[in-house]
Amino acid sequence: MTSRSKARDSAVEAAPERWRGEWLPPFLEHLSKERRLSDYTVRNYSTAIGRFFGHLEAAGSWNGKLGGVGLRDARDFVIEEQRRVSRVTLRNYVSGLKTFFKFWIRQGKVDRNPLDGLILPKPAKKLPIFLTQQQVLRLLRGPTLLLEQEIIDPFIAWRDRMVLELLYGAGFRVSELVNLKYGDISFEEGVARIVGKGGKSRICPLGKVAMTALRTWKSEYAPETGYSDVVVVGNQGRPWSSRQIQLLLKKYLKLAELPMDITPHKIRHSYATHLLDNGADLRLVQELLGHSKLSTTQIYTHVNLGRLKAVYDRAHPRA
Q: In residues, how long is the chain?
A: 319
Domains held by the chain: number: 2
* 89 and 137 inside one domain: no
Q: Is 300 a catalytic residue?
A: yes
* 80 and 157 inside one domain: no
Catalytic residue among 20, 197, 202, 266: 197
Q: Is residue 21's pLDDT more than 80? A: no
Contact 136, 270 (CB under 8 A): yes
- Could you tell me which of 208, 209, 206, 202 has the C-alpha nearest to residue 297? 202
* 162 and 299 inside one domain: yes
Note whether residue 186 is domain-resident. yes
Question: Could you give the 3-state DSSP secondary structure of residue 184?
Answer: helix
| Parent domain of 96 | 3-106
Q: For the segment 293-312, what is each residue's pLDDT rounded down to a tens digit?
A: 766 667 766 666 555 556 55
Catalytic residue among 51, 159, 269, 291: 291
Buried b (16+ CB within 10 A) or exposed e, 110-144: beebbbeeeeeeeeeeeeeebbeeebbebbbbbbe
What is the CATH classification number for the domain harbouring 78?
Answer: 1.10.150
Quote the pLDDT of residue 127.
67
Catalytic residue among 8, 55, 173, 218: 173
Note whether residue 28 is domain-resident. yes
Contact 77, 55 (CB under 8 A): yes
Q: Is residue 19's pLDDT more than 70? A: no
**Choice among 73-82, 115-124, 137-146, 244-253 with the minimum mean pLDDT:** 115-124
Claim: this prediction has a pTM higher than 0.95: no
Note whether residue 118 is domain-resident. no
* 58 and 156 inside one domain: no
Note whether residue 125 is domain-resident. no
Q: For the segment 262-294, what is each residue's pLDDT rounded down to a tens digit?
A: 999 999 889 888 888 888 888 888 888 877 776
Note whether residue 128 is domain-resident. no
What type of residue sits at position 151? I
Choosing from 57, 88, 106, the residue where a domain stops is 106
CA torsion through residues 264, 265, 271, 274, sign: negative
Quote the pLDDT of residue 11.
38
Q: Is 55 a catalytic residue?
A: no
Q: Is 307 a catalytic residue?
A: no
Q: For the segment 168-196, what is each residue's pLDDT rounded down to a tens digit?
A: 988 899 999 999 999 999 999 999 998 88
- Average pLDDT of 30-46? 88
* 173 and 283 inside one domain: yes
* 207 and 149 inside one domain: yes
- Could you tell me which of 112, 73, 74 has the C-alpha nearest to residue 93? 74
- Could you tell me which of 293, 154, 266 has the C-alpha nearest to residue 221? 154
- Run of H or E including 186: strand 185-186
Catalytic residue among 45, 93, 168, 300: 300
* 141 and 89 inside one domain: no
* 217 and 267 inside one domain: yes
Note whether residue 120 is domain-resident. no
Catalytic residue among 55, 159, 268, 274: 268
Rounded-to-integer distance, Cα 250 and Cα 258, Å: 9
Q: Is 265 a catalytic residue?
A: yes
Contact 54, 88 (CB under 8 A): no
Note whether residue 25 is domain-resident. yes
